[in-house]
Amino acid sequence: MIPLPRTCRRSGFSLIEALIALSITSIAGAVLLLSVQSALDTTIEAVDKTIAEGLAQQTLDEILTKRFVGPAENPLTAVLGALSSELQNLGTSLFDDTDDYAGYVSKPLKGFFGETMGTGDDSGGLRLQNFRVRSDYFQNWRVRVDVFYVNPDNHLVRSSSATNFRMIDVNVELVRPNGGALPLANRRRIVAYVPPPTS
C-alpha cells in the first residue's frame, strides 16, 4: 500500500476529542448558570429585605403617631389590644393609641384602610392600575406587631404587670409554603407615658 502524501492526510478532531470538549463546555455552562442563579437569588433576597425594612419602619412610624393611651383611659390598663369597634375596619385606620396594635397580624399585607398593600392611594381609594403592585406580590408576606409592658428599670425585660413603659415590636416575615416563616425585618421601640402636668 502506498502511503498518501502528507498534504492529503485529513486533520481534525476524533470522536473522543469532540466528546471531551463537549463535556467540558457543558460543565462550564452548568457552573455559569448556577452562579447566575445564585446571584439572582441573592439580588431577590436583598430587594425583599430592603422592602421589608421599609415596611417595618413605616409600620413603626404609624404606631408612633398614636397616643400612648386613648382619651380618658387608664395608662396602666393591664389588657392591651384593640376594642371591637376599632377592629371593624380591615386596616388600622380606627386605631387611636399604641396598645391597639398589640397582637396585630396582617397576612397578606394590608394598607392603612385595609386595601391590599401597594394598591392604595393613601386616602382610602385605589391607585391607577399601572401604578399598583402586582396583586400577589405580598401574598405570602406577614406583619406581626406585639406591644407589651417592660420593666421600668430594665427595658429589655418584659413586665408581668402594667408599667409606664411599653415595647413595640414590629416583625416582617415571608411565610413559606410549609408554614415556616423567614424573618425579613424587625423594628423595636420603647415608648413611655408621661403624665400631664398638674396645675
Q: What is the pLDDT of residues 139-196, one digit of tens each?
A: 999 999 999 999 999 998 999 899 999 999 999 999 998 989 999 999 999 999 988 7
Find the mean pLDDT for residues 129-146: 90
Provide the pLDDT confidence category of residue 10 given band limits of 50, 70 and 90: low
Q: What pTM was estimated for this model as a whole?
A: 0.77
Q: What is the pLDDT of residues 72-110, one digit of tens each?
A: 788 887 688 888 888 877 789 889 899 999 999 999 888
| Distance separating alpha carbons of residues 138 and 132, to the nearest angstrom | 12
CB 60, CB 166: distance < 8 Å = no
DSSP H or E segment with residue 141: strand 141-149
Please tell me the predicted confidence (pLDDT) of residue 39.
84
Neighbours of 111 (CB within 10 A): 19
